[in-house]
Amino acid sequence: MDITAAPLDAAAVTAAVARASDGAIATFVGIVRNENAGRQVLWLDYEAYAPLAIRAFERIAEEAASHWPGARLAIHHRTGRVDIGEASVVIAAASPHRADAFAACRYAIERLKQIAPIWKHEHFAGGDVWIEGATADAADDTARAAALERACV
């Protein structure tokens, strides 16, 4: 688990979870897009409360392991300025079986968006805006169930 201002290395995150007993690793790379809500995005600035974010990542990994036994997660999120096309987040989910690896990976990104104390400040052509999504509540079982449902479609 990592919060870093340095560029993310998806191969390194993937290698970090690999074990001989794994049959699959699903790796998700979230990248910065050049458009959002009709605005031309120039770059994003990410801010994190790092110690709490690491704990949130560990919590997500524990939740995933409880849903998909044997599944393990590595989550790295970048902070500071991230340019178009660069990775803001990398999640690797390893499991003995591919279905569980895919599901755990999807669960992790949905859950990260709900409870990780990370904020994006969008700089677009003509201005800037803080993007505000979910009120983080790690104990909210409804949100957790919604993430689980999205992971299992």
**Does residue number 81 form part of the binding site for other proteins (CB under 8 A)?**
no
Number of residues that this document lists for the chain: 153
**Does residue number 41 form part of the binding site for other proteins (CB under 8 A)?**
no
The CB-of-145 to other proteins minimum distance in angstroms stands at 10
Q: Kindly give the residue spans of alpha helices, DSSP state H, lying in 7-128.
A: 10-17, 50-67, 98-115
The CB-of-75 to other proteins minimum distance in angstroms stands at 10
Pick one of 40, 134, 149, 152: the residue that binds other proteins (CB under 8 A).
Answer: 134
Q: Dihedral sign, CA of 90, 95, 99, 103? A: negative
Q: Which is nearer to other proteins, 101 or 115 (CB)?
A: 115
How many Cα atoms are found within 13 Å in the side-chain-facing hemisphere of 113?
15
Pick one of 120, 124, 148, 151: the residue that binds other proteins (CB under 8 A).
Answer: 120
Distance spanning both ends of the chain, measured CA to CA: 26
Pick one of 118, 124, 148, 151: the residue that binds other proteins (CB under 8 A).
Answer: 118
9-28 residues near other proteins, rule: CB under 8 A: none
Separation CA 8–CA 85 (nearest Å): 12
Q: Which is nearer to other proteins, 72 or 120 (CB)?
A: 120
Q: Rg of the Cα trace of the chain?
A: 15
**Does residue number 48 form part of the binding site for other proteins (CB under 8 A)?**
yes
